[in-house]
Amino acid sequence: MTYTSMVRNLCLSLLLAGAGLTGCKENTISEGVLPYFEPSTTDPDGGTWRTVLLSSVSTITVPAPTAITSDAYQAELTSVKNGILTSTPDQNTAVNYWGQGGVVRWNQIARQLVAKYNTAPVYNDATGQYLTVDPNAPVASLPFATRLYALLSAAQYDALVVAWRAKYQYNRPSLNRQNIVTRVPVADVPSYPSEGAAIAEASAQILTYFFPNEISYIAAKANEHKQSQLWAGINVASDVRAGEALAAAVAAVALNRARTDRFSNSTDSWAAMKAKAPYDVTWESLEIPSRLPVVPLAGRVKTWFDSTTVARLAPAAPPLTNTTAFQTALAEVRATADSRTRDQWATADYWNDGLATYTVAGHWNLIAEQLIQEDRQNELRSARTYALLNRALHDVTTTGWQAKYTYFVPRPAQLDAKIKSSVLMPNNPAYVSDHAATSAAANTILTYLFPAETIWLKKQSDDAIISTLYAGTQYRFSIDAGVQLGTGIGTLATNWGKADGAK
Amino acid sequence: MMVCAALLLPAVCQAQMPHDAIYMNKNAVCVAGLYGHSTWSQYWENSFKRENLNIGTHTTQSVMVMPAIGISKRVNVILSLPYVWTSTSAGNLMGQRGVQDLSAWLKVNAFQRGGFSVHAIVGGSLPMGNYVPDFQPMSIGMQCRTLTGRLLLNYKHPATGLYVTTHGSYGWRSNIRIDRDAYLADDRMYNVNQVSVPNTYDAALRVGVLRRQWQAEAFTERTACLSGDYIRRNDMPFPTNNAKATIVGFYAKVQPRNIGVNARVGQVIDGVNTGQSTSYTVGLLYLFNWKKP
C-alpha cells in the first residue's frame, strides 16, 4: 500500500465515523404542545357555587372597581395596549405558558415539587432513626402530597368562586369586548377581578407553606403569571390587584386550616399503637437496617368530607395470617412475582409512582389534566374538578393510613422472603392498598365529571388497582378493601359535586 | 463496547476486541465464547461513596458469543450478543435476565508505518430484548441504540512484541422509552415517556506484550458521559445519570493453535454515579481458517 492510499484510507474511515455520528439525532426531549382552547362555558352563576374552605362566599368582600369611563381605568387600558405592541419574546413565552390554564399549570408545578421532595428520608444508619428533617425541605410522602394537592385545589377553587361572584356582580367588561384581541383564547367573562391573579396568589401562598425552600422559585412563577395577564391583554392592573387581594384572604383561611388539621403531629410516636394492634403478626420495616415509617399518624388528620361518614367507610379487619384466606392471598403474590410477565411489569412500572415521582395521587392529577383540556374547562371548572378529586384522595389516604397503623399488616415479603418485587418496597404496612383506594376514588369522581371517558377511565383504574399485586407489594384482599374504601369516598365527593350548584 | 452504559449495569466484557490493534487474516474467523462476572457492594451515589444493605452485593453475570471476522488483513468486523442476568445478595429487588444488545464493530487499520499504526473503529449496537431499562440497578441494559467512533493509536516494537495502545471514543446514545409517563431528571419533571440518555466518551491506555501465541496487558480506562444528572441522596439511579468511572486491569490471552483462552480482570478505582465493581471475564477462543492451503 502506498503512502497516499494509506492517507486516503484514514480519511475515508474518519469520514465514515463522522457521517455515522452526525446522522444521529441529538438527544432533545419533546413533551409536545398542549392545545390552546377557548373554554366551553363561562358559568355566570359560578359565584353561587358552594365553597369548600369559606363558610360562605360573602365572607370575602371584593371592593367595587372604578368605572371604565374613569381616567384611571383608561390609563390602565392604554398601558395594556402599549404593552401588547411592545411585547418581548420572554413575555410571549410567558403568555403562551400560562395561556394553557393557570389551574393546570400550578397543578403541574405542585406535582414537580412533590416529585423533587419525594425522597427516602436520610437516616442514621446505626440507629435507624431519622436525621432531623429540615422543616424547610420536607419529605413529600403520599399523605403529605395528597394534603398539599387538596389544600391547593380547594384554595384555588374558593378564590375563583369569590372572583366569579365579583365578576358578575360588577360586570366590568372583558378586554375582548373593548377592542383588544387577547394573545391567547380566554373565557368571555367580566375582567374584574382577574382570575389568573387569584389563582397565582392562592397557589403561591399554599405551595410556599409546604416548600419554604422554594420561596423564590414559587414567587417568580406567581409574578410571571400575574404579569402575563397584562401582557396577554386579558386584564388591566386593577383587575390583577383585586384578584391578588381576594386570593390572599382565601389563602389565609386555607393556611389556618392547614395549621390546625393535626398533620403536624403525624410523626409522633406510633409504638403504642403497634403494641395494641389487633393482628397476629405485625409489620416490620423490610429495609436493612429497619427504618421508621415516615408519617405514621397521618391517619388522624382532619377530613374534608363529613368525618363521621368517612369514619364509617374505614376498612374492616383483614384476615389473620394463619387463615386460609390470608395464605391463599400470600401464595398468589408469590406465584405472580415468580411468573411476572413483561406486560405485568410494564403495568407495575407505569403505576409505580414511588420515590422521585408525584405519587399515585399526582398521577391521577395528570389524568385529570388531560380530561380538563379535552373538555375545555374554564379556570373555575378546572379548579372544581381538582378540588373534588384531591379532597377525596386526601381523605382516602387519611383513612387508609389509619388502617395501616391500626392493623400493621406485614408486606408479603416479610412473610415470604422469596417474593421479589419489581418496585422498591414501600416502607409502611400493607393494608389497605393506597393505589387501589386512590384509583377507585379517582375513577368514581372523574367518571362522574367526564362520563364520555367512562371506558377509558375504567381501564386506567383497573390497571392501577391491580398494579401492586403485579409489583409484588400487595395482597388481593388489601386491594379489594382499597377499592371499597376508594369507591365509598369517591361517592361522597360525587354527591358533594352533585349538590355544589355547578351544572 | 459501551462500558459507560454498563456501569451500575453489567460490565459485559470483551475479548477479541474493538479496542486493540490485532487483526484476523482474510477469511479467518475467531469465535470467542465468554463468561463475565462483575460485583459491587459499594457505589457512588453522586460522588458520595456508600453501601446499601438492601442490596448487599450486586452481581451481574453474562455469557456471550463474539466472532471476529477477517474481511482483509486490515479490515475486521467484530460482532457480539450477550445474555445477561443480575442479582443481589439482600433485599427484595427482582433480578433481571435476558438477551441484551447486539453490537457490531468495523475496525480498519488505516495507517501503518513500521511498528506505528492508526486505526479507525466504528461500532453500533441495537437492543435485542424487551428488558426493562429503568429498573436500575437491576436492569440488564438501557435499551439505547448506540453509535461509537473511536480512534486508536498503536506502537508495537517489532522485535520484542512490546506494545503501547491508546484510544479515545465518542459514543452517541439514542433516547429511550420507558413504561412510565413522567419522570424527574435534573430536578425537573418531564411529562413524557421518552428519556434522553447522555452521550459518552472514553479514553484508555494499554501496555503489554503481544507474541505469536500469547498476549499480556495492563490497562487503564476512563469512561464518562458528556452530560447527565446526578443520583440524589438516597435515590435510585436513572438512565439520565452521568456515570463516570476509572478502571484498571489486566488482560491475557494464550492461543497456541486454533484453540485458545483469554481472561480479563478489572477494578473500578474511582467513579461518580457508579458501582465500585470488580469484574472478570474468561473466554474460550476458536480460530476458523478458510484460507486455501
Going from the C-alpha of A244 to that of each of A188, A199, A208, A239, B249, the distances in angstroms are 20, 8, 16, 9, 65
Residues A198 and A121 in one domain: yes
Q: Which residue in A9, A11, A344, A363 has the most chain B C-beta atoms within 10 A of its own C-beta, making it the best mutation to test that interface?
A: A9
Domain that holds residue A437: 271-498
Closest CB to A342 among B130, B149, B187? B130
- Residue B285, pLDDT above cutoff 80: yes
Q: How far is CA B81 from the centre of its chain?
A: 12
Three-state SS for chain B is: CCCHHHCCCCCCCCCCCCCCCCCCCCCEEEEEEEEEEEEECEEEECCEEEECCCCCCEEEEEEEEEEEEEEECCEEEEEEEEEEEEEECCCCECCCEEECEEEEEEEEEEEEECCEEEEEEEEEEEECCCCCCCCCCCCCCCCCCEEEEEEEEEEECCCCCEEEEEEEEEEEECCEECCCCCEEECCEEECCCEECCCCEEEEEEEEEEECCCEEEEEEEEEEEECCCECCCCCCCCCCCECCEEEEEEEEEEECCCCEEEEEEEEEEEEEECCECCEEEEEEEEEEEECCCC
> Does A51 reside within a domain?
yes
**Mean pLDDT value of segment B225-251:** 94
Residues A201 and A241 in one domain: yes
> What are the tens digits of pLDDT across the range A426-471?
999 999 999 999 999 999 999 999 999 999 999 999 999 999 999 9
Residues A242 and A368 in one domain: no
Q: What is the pLDDT of residue B40?
A: 97
**Mean pLDDT value of segment B130-143:** 95
> What are the tens digits of pLDDT across the range B155-211?
999 999 999 999 999 999 999 999 999 999 988 999 999 999 999 999 999 999 999
Q: How confident is the model at residue A130 (pLDDT cuts 50, 70, 90)?
A: low
**Mean pLDDT value of segment B84-100:** 95
- Residue A233, pLDDT above cutoff 70: yes
Q: How far apart are CA B89 and CA B95, in angstroms?
A: 10
**Mean pLDDT value of segment A484-502:** 97
Residues A430 and A282 in one domain: yes
Q: What is the pLDDT of residue B170?
A: 97
**Boundary residue ending a domain (A195, A229, A259):** A259
Contact call for residues B267 and B2 (beta carbons, < 8 A): no
Residues A356 and A335 in one domain: yes
Give the least confident one: A421-425, B20-24, B129-133: B20-24
Q: Which residue's entry shows cell 379548579?
A: A383
Q: Which residue's entry shows cell 412563577?
A: A221
- Per the document, the length of chain B is 293
**Mean pLDDT value of segment B207-222:** 95
Residues A254 and A325 in one domain: no
Residues A289 and A357 in one domain: yes
Q: Which residue in A7, A8, A21, A27 has the most chain B C-beta atoms within 10 A of its own C-beta, making it the best mutation to test that interface?
A: A27
Q: How confident is the model at residue B10 (pLDDT cuts 50, 70, 90)?
A: very low
Q: How confident is the model at residue B34 (pLDDT cuts 50, 70, 90)?
A: very high
Q: Nearest residue of A to residue B174 by CA position?
A: A27
Q: What is the pLDDT of residue A120?
A: 83
Q: What is the pLDDT of residue A266?
A: 83
**Mean pLDDT value of segment A353-382:** 96
> Does A7 reside within a domain?
no
Q: Do B120 and A16 touch (CB under 8 A)?
A: yes
**Mean pLDDT value of segment A203-209:** 98
Query: Which ipTM did the prediction report?
Result: 0.87
Q: How confident is the model at residue B3 (pLDDT cuts 50, 70, 90)?
A: very low
Q: What is the pLDDT of residue A30?
A: 75
> Does A16 reside within a domain?
no
> Does A437 reside within a domain?
yes
> Does A65 reside within a domain?
yes
**Mean pLDDT value of segment A313-331:** 97
- Residue A28, pLDDT above cutoff 60: yes
Q: How far apart are CA A101 and CA A141, in angstroms?
A: 27
Amino acid at A119: T
Q: Do A116 and B184 touch (CB under 8 A)?
A: yes
Q: Do B94 and A421 touch (CB under 8 A)?
A: yes
**Boundary residue ending a domain (A259, A287, A322):** A259
Q: How far apart are CA B293 and CA B283, in angstroms?
A: 28
Q: Do B108 and A9 touch (CB under 8 A)?
A: yes
Residues 90-109 of B with CB under 8 A from A: 90-95, 106, 108
Which helix (H) or strand (E) segment is A117 a member of? helix A102-117
**Average pLDDT along chain A:** 92
**Boundary residue ending a domain (A259, A293, A315):** A259
Which residues, at least 6 apart from A307, have a Cβ–Cβ distance to it below 8 Å? none
Q: How confident is the model at residue A294 (pLDDT cuts 50, 70, 90)?
A: confident
Q: Which three cell numbers stand for residue A25?
A: 439525532
Half-sphere exposure at residue A111, Cβ-oriented, CA atoms within 13 angstroms: 28
Q: Do A21 and B149 touch (CB under 8 A)?
A: yes
Domain count, chain A: 2
Q: Do A27 and B199 touch (CB under 8 A)?
A: yes
- Residue A20, pLDDT above cutoff 70: no
Q: How far apart are CA A346 and CA A123, in angstroms?
A: 31
Residues A302 and A194 in one domain: no
CATH code for the domain of A278: 1.10.606.20
Q: Which residue's entry shows cell 372583558?
A: A174
Residues A246 and A277 in one domain: no
**Mean pLDDT value of segment A404-421:** 96
Which helix (H) or strand (E) segment is A426 a member of? none
Q: What is the pLDDT of residue A452?
A: 97
> Does A141 reside within a domain?
yes
- Residue B9, pLDDT above cutoff 50: no
Q: How confident is the model at residue B229 (pLDDT cuts 50, 70, 90)?
A: very high
Contact call for residues B262 and B282 (beta carbons, < 8 A): yes
Residues A52 and A77 in one domain: yes
Contact call for residues B125 and B100 (beta carbons, < 8 A): no
Say whether the peptide bond before residue B137 is cis (omega within 30 degrees of 0): yes
> Does A14 reside within a domain?
no
- Residue B11, pLDDT above cutoff 70: no
Q: How far is CA B214 from the centre of its chain?
A: 23
Q: Going by DSSP bridges, is the β-strand pair B194-195/B200-210 parallel, antiparallel, or unpaired?
A: unpaired
Give the least confident one: A14-23, A212-221, A405-414: A14-23
Q: How far apart are CA B17 and CA B38, in angstroms?
A: 19
Q: Nearest residue of A to residue B195 by CA position?
A: A29
Q: What is the pLDDT of residue A5?
A: 52
Q: What is the pLDDT of residue A1?
A: 41
Q: Do A27 and B111 touch (CB under 8 A)?
A: no
Residues facing B246 on adjacent strands: B222, B270
Burial label for B273, CB within 10 Å (0-12, 13-18, 19+), is buried
> Does A246 reside within a domain?
yes
Closest CB to A24 among B94, B111, B172? B172
Q: Which domains does chain B have, with CATH numbers?
A: 4-289 (2.40.160.40)
**Average pLDDT along chain B:** 91
Residues A297 and A403 in one domain: yes
Percent of chain A with pLDDT over 90: 84
Q: Is A480 left (phi over 0), alpha (psi -120 to 50) or beta?
A: alpha
Q: What is the pLDDT of residue B2?
A: 34
**Mean pLDDT value of segment B220-225:** 96
> What are the tens digits of pLDDT across the range A45-59?
999 999 999 999 999
Residues A248 and A332 in one domain: no
- Residue A27, pLDDT above cutoff 80: no
Q: Do A17 and B111 touch (CB under 8 A)?
A: no
Percent of chain A with pLDDT over 70: 93
Q: How far apart are CA B293 and CA B290, in angstroms?
A: 9
